[in-house]
Amino acid sequence: MATSTSTARVAIVTGGSRGIGRQVVERLAAEGYAVVVNYRGNQAEADAAVQAARAAGGEAIAVAADVADETAVAALFDTAEQEYGGVDVVVNAAGMMALAPLADLDLDNLDRLLRVNVRGTFAVDQQAARRVRRGGAIINFSSSLTRFARPGYSAYAASKGAVSAITLILARELRGRDVTVNAVAPGPTGTALFLEGKDEQTLARMAAEPPLERIGTPEDIAELVAFLAGPGRWVNGQVLYANGGAI
């Protein structure tokens, strides 16, 4: 693989082929980042994200990796370093959701969810903690559902509560490294996955909850990620709830 001579800041975005991750890829590319778009299985979506990043003004490549597989994650970081010379920003946007009342949830689904959301965040953060350069940032994804306490979301909210805990502790473990660690905790955000299966009445009810009276957009979340990745150097060890004031 050829090594780029680019001096741009370099970002790895897990789950970067769709949803909020895809928007983060485009937003960072517009800031001039070289972006490594991580994806699990859909190469066509990942390739589309790469093309969008390049169109936005950045460099980009797509790299497949299971975020819960520590060997694959190490190889992902290896590729970023070989291609672009190092890693400055890591955005953990990969995740999955399993919804059911606690009493009814299939524990195999719980295991799969925890593997991606908790082990995946841990494995990626482990490599990030070892490799992110000075002046860099690690940005995890928690969820406002840790506060909303909505029935049916116990497994998902528990996994995101774990992400919040990992974030706060890692920020303190990286004392002296000049690397910030924060988590973004979105509320309802209008991705294709979120909108699927919801009728207009449900969406209207959710839009009415925040004082800003709308559902969030992937662009709203990507803007916050870009701030934490770049100018927001004095924000560290925080979970930022991005939900329009719903809580």
State the SS3 of 138-197: EEEECCCHHHHCCCCCHHHHHHHHHHHHHHHHHHHHCCCCCCEEEEEEECCECCHHHHCC
d(CA 6, CA 90): 18
For residue 2, pLDDT beyond 80: no
Q: Kindly report the pTM of this predicted structure.
A: 0.95
Which among 33, 39, 156, 241 is annotated as catalytic?
156
Chain centre distance of CA 93? 2
Q: Which tokens belong to 123?
A: 């494995």
Percent of the chain whose predicted confidence (pLDDT) is above 90: 93
156 is catalytic: yes
Nearest CA-CA partner of 170 in 212, 200, 142: 142
Helix (H, G, I), strand (E, B) or coil at 95: coil
Is 51 in contact with 119 (CB distance < 8 Å)?
no
List pLDDT tens digits, range 78-97.
Answer: 999 999 999 999 999 999 99
d(CA 148, CA 7): 42
d(CA 139, CA 60): 19
Is 38 in contact with 75 (CB distance < 8 Å)?
no
Mean pLDDT of 30-54: 97
List pLDDT tens digits, range 127-183.
Answer: 999 999 999 999 999 999 999 999 999 999 999 999 999 999 999 999 999 999 999
What are the C-alpha distances in Å from 82 to residues 1, 14, 29, 72, 79? 7, 18, 19, 15, 5
Is 140 in contact with 121 (CB distance < 8 Å)?
yes
Per-residue confidence (pLDDT) for residue 193, from 0 to 100: 78
DSSP 116: I
Query: Domains along the chain?
Result: 10-241 (3.40.50.720)
The two beta strands, 59-64 and 89-92, are unpaired
